[in-house]
Structure 1
Amino acid sequence: MKDQNIKSEKPQQKPEVWLRGPVQGIPNLLQPAAHALLQAGEDMHSYADNFPKELLWRKPAGRASVGFHLQHLTGVLDRMLTYARKENLSDLQFKHLKKEGAENPEISTIQLLQDFDTKVSEALQYFKTVDADTLTEERSVGRKKMPSTHLGLLFHAAEHSQRHIGQMLVTISILKERS
């Protein structure tokens, strides 16, 4: 019989981010978005930290590559923050948008992960500056000025990140099984 006082060799897993309490400095109404972005970052690292560079641009069954998901996650978050600040996209942002998913052997998985981490940090810093009274204000998206709200953009940034993390996990699983 095992000694009840001996701790398990297995490391303790933290609860999901949303169960760890509020993120300091973030308005209450933005807590779910902050939690989702932080969870996306943790999940991304747990799935992709040791992902082989030679598989980064493979597209199983014609689906998006892991490289695309990593670039796109960062790009969308950057664009949603721009629209949330009532700004237009810059020429540099359009240049990055056109390159999302284009195979680039110069880029490493580590760099793509770091880019997302940086953008999540920027998003959380932005969240800390948001006046909750502005969350229902109208915002427009893209050249066509599609209607949204301040909250809508920040929520979309978070849920979109979660969606792509899920897709990326499936792609990683398929590619690892095949290699």
Structure 2
Amino acid sequence: MANDKLPEVWLRGPLIDTPALLQPIAHALLQAREELNDLMSGFPDELLWEKVAEMASPGFHLQHLTGVLNRLFTYAHGEALTEQQLSYLSAEGKPTTKTYTVTELVNAFNVQVDVSLKQLSETNEATLTDFRGVGRAQLPSTVIGLYTHSAEHTMRHLGQLIVTVGVLREGG
């Protein structure tokens, strides 16, 4: 790995621009970005939509990682999803007329992490226990709940991506 000599992100010290209570979320997103970029470096585009044991493809995980962060941070901001976000959700992992490259999907994730980190840095800690409705059913959560789930969900899919990419690199 490119960052083998560095400690994990959470052990590199506080993030100056991020409120203290949100640092673990920011650290997890930064760690995920580092690992994902390293993992996908040199991964062939032709394997992007391949499945292992009928599990999700690397392309799905890359799209989903980006989309979930976008959606959860939208809810945390107290907003409903737009038609564009709903369209993105329904297209995750499905073949389209556009042929995505690994680089495009990794870059989209990197941009979404930057957007998410900016939102974390601008979050007032006094709002972390504020109620937020999730989805069309407006299921109950809090701002901190949404942010925490975004980090947990990101790491869960990164783990799945690591296994899938490892198997595909070994030939299948």
Q: TM-score range by the shorter chain?
A: over 0.9
List aligned pairs for 1:11-30, cutoff 5 A: 13-30=5-22
Runs of 4 or more off by more than 4 Å in structure 1? none
> Which one of the candidate residues 117, 124, 127 is aligned to 2:117?
124
Distance in 1 (alpha carbons) for counterparts of 2:30 and 2:16: 13
1:74–1:12 distance in 2 versus 1, CA, 3 Å: closer
The two structures, once aligned, show a CA RMSD in angstroms of: 1.4
Give the equivalent residue in structure 1 for 2:81: 89
Counterpart code for 1:34: A
Q: Over residues 82-118 of structure 1, what are the superposed CA-to-partner deviations in whole Å (9 max), with x where a residue is unaligned?
A: 0001100000001100110013461000000000100
Distance in 1 (alpha carbons) for counterparts of 2:115 and 2:148: 15
Q: Is it true that 1:113 corresponds to 2:103 in the alignment?
A: no
Distance in 2 (alpha carbons) for counterparts of 1:11 and 1:107: 27
Counterpart code for 1:116: F
Q: Over residues 140-162 of structure 1, what are the superposed CA-to-partner deviations in whole Å (9 max), with x where a residue is unaligned?
A: 10000010000000111111101
> Which one of the candidate residues 60, 69, 93 is aligned to 2:61?
69
Distance in 1 (alpha carbons) for counterparts of 2:89 and 2:4: 39
Give the equivalent residue in structure 2 for 1:31: 23
> Which one of the candidate residues 34, 37, 42 is aligned to 1:42?
34
Counterpart code for 2:78: K
Counterpart code for 2:6: K
Q: Displacement of 1:120 after TM fit?
A: 0.5
> Which one of the candidate residues 110, 128, 133 is aligned to 1:140?
133
Larger radius of gyration: 1
1:79–1:21 distance in 2 versus 1, CA, 3 Å: same
Distance in 2 (alpha carbons) for counterparts of 1:11 and 1:138: 38
Give the equivalent residue in structure 2 for 1:59: 51
Distance in 2 (alpha carbons) for counterparts of 1:21 and 1:12: 17
Q: Displacement of 1:23 after TM fit?
A: 1.3
Which 5+ residue runs of structure 1 have no aligned equivalent? 1-9
Distance in 1 (alpha carbons) for counterparts of 2:11 and 2:3: 18
Q: Displacement of 1:13 after TM fit?
A: 1.4
Which 5+ residue runs of structure 2 have no aligned equivalent? none
Distance in 1 (alpha carbons) for counterparts of 2:4 and 2:147: 32
Distance in 2 (alpha carbons) for counterparts of 1:94 and 1:72: 12
